Chain A
């Protein structure tokens, strides 16, 4: 989460090559080896090893068990639900992120600073608390509980609750990426477009959006990764009904608690794969954005 909190724009300006070239700022080779050694050991121990372990455990009982674990109806339902939650949460947060960033970067209004702080709330509050908020609101004994029951609407321990919790925890990703970028770009290009006769919509599609597209994509990728991987908030509102309200992370937990290690790791390996794909995409987007920034600064 800390990685997501630092904006894309901020990460692009750092360069270490000059530092290394200069005699005055070059560290001794011993220090260099030591620091490299520490970080690589940590990396291997805490990141690479568990990742390998996930796949090793997943295939321990062979391909057939692996495939069987994934094609189990409950597993398929969990995968579907995870995809559904992400498919609803990500577009909604995309729309929200763009409009919030637009409002903050382009308009002056009372309580702007408060809104910026509020957007970060899902980052700072524990996901369990986030889940509990919804239980308090929509649960059987919650504020709207009796009304919902009277109208036969189920939110908690049902799909809507899971979608709501997912939206809550992934709320800041897109907005956080866009706000600093749009603030730094200012509004002159948009004014220029309007003076040249462009309508509001044309200005948005032809000027605003292309200028932020890499940051936007970056935000969406992170948002999606979190939406699919979220455990805490979803766990509180889900009720863990197999084949109905289980998402992939919840399914992994249930299988593990039932000592079905191979099956648990098989589903976990899917999540790990998703993480790897996200990483690759993220690196590609960062690389593209960096290239664009380099072109923009190249004189």
Chain B
């Protein structure tokens, strides 16, 4: 089902969790709500489910106003971060729960319940665990059982709260791929909450990037990664080098150094922050008159064809710490540069993105 979120606002005491959020999600997509902790993503998910009530605004499911609809009637499936499996029930009974609590008229016959639960357990490939209790399962298995349980009532939309948050790295990667495959089979509209950008970029059709209760950017993973719309989007997604300075003609003055840029719409002297991805940043030898930000090589991490060079800014400390930069260098370039720890170099960027600097403005 399609989901329309219409000017939703929600506060907890004086903390504004969601600030006038609007969002349209077409049917059948796998959407990631991405953002740092406290950005309001879980609150938004719980409001869609009906577990929280918004202070103002509407939720429309399939075009129908569901704001006043009870959780039970919304036909949503919800997978909790810590699974929330019923600890005193076997795996089978956990999955069967949603069918067993239906009103007598709608409740399937016992044989149908058994068939349906077995189908779902096969779908999540855990049929052999059906007599176990949740405590006897691994984290990944619990997650899949929680998903099977949510799917048992044939929800119109599936909501997942940090679905892989509590799992170790390897299981996480496996489950990620598995969730994507499952979504491609079932085509059920799904929204999952995550703070892990890699997870969102890998799994989702569409990413909704959130920050401080507002939506920063909505787009495909590629758009989000390659064309970050805001300063926050740039700094949150992927590794990035940030240079803070002031506009000076076609340059940004960073401390005593200059960085070339191509923007023409910025006023002279405006404080800006310039972002460059590690693979778009280049290291050039230090020379007195050269452009580029001066830095000192801290470490060179070589593994495979691409090496990562970690550098420390020459400029003054900000907030008690030096700025760190990271540059990805091909092995050929690395050999040509002959970098040694402590060596002074300059950094330039092939692709610099400028944003007005709110922090210093």
What residues make up the interface of A, taking CB atoms closer than 8 Å to B? 188-189, 191-199, 202, 206-207, 210-211, 292, 295-299
Contact = CB atoms under 8 A, between A and B. Distances in A.
Q: Is the interface of A mostly helix, strand, loop or mixed?
A: helix
B80 A193 contact: no
A188 B82 contact: yes
Contacts of A297: 135
B344 interface: no
A185 B101 CA distance: 22
A211 B80 contact: no
A295 B86 contact: no
B303 to A, nearest CB: 34
B98 A197 contact: yes
Given A188-B82, A297-B135, A195 B101 contact: no
Contact of B72 (A197, A206, A207, A211): A197
A235 to B, nearest CB: 43
Contacts of B71: 194-195
Nearest 8 A/B pairs, CB to CB: A196-B98, A188-B84, A198-B101, A192-B84, A296-B135, A210-B88, A195-B78, A202-B101
Nearest to B161: A188
Contacts of A197: 72, 98, 101-102, 153
B86 A189 contact: yes
A57 to B, nearest CB: 46
Contacts of A211: 87-88
Contact of A189 (B77, B78, B87): B87
A206 B87 CA distance: 11
A196 B88 contact: no
B309 interface: no
Contacts, number: 69
Given A193-B101, A202-B101, A188 B80 contact: yes
Contacts of A298: 135-136
Contacts of A196: 97-98, 101, 149-150, 152-153
A207 B97 CA distance: 10
B354 interface: no
Contacts of A188: 80, 82, 84
Nearest to A207: B86
A191 B51 contact: yes
A211 B87 CA distance: 7
A299 B136 CA distance: 5
B147 interface: no
B80 A191 contact: yes
B135 A195 contact: no
B259 interface: no
Interface in B140-163: 149-150, 152-153
B305 to A, nearest CB: 40
13 contacts: A188-B84, A189-B85, A189-B87, A191-B78, A192-B149, A193-B101, A195-B50, A196-B101, A196-B149, A196-B150, A198-B101, A296-B135, A297-B135
Contacts of B86: 189, 192-193, 206-207
A110 to B, nearest CB: 14
Contacts of A189: 84-87
A199 B101 contact: yes
B135 A192 contact: no
Contacts of B152: 196
Interface string B120-139: 00000000000001011010
Interface in B27-52: 49-51
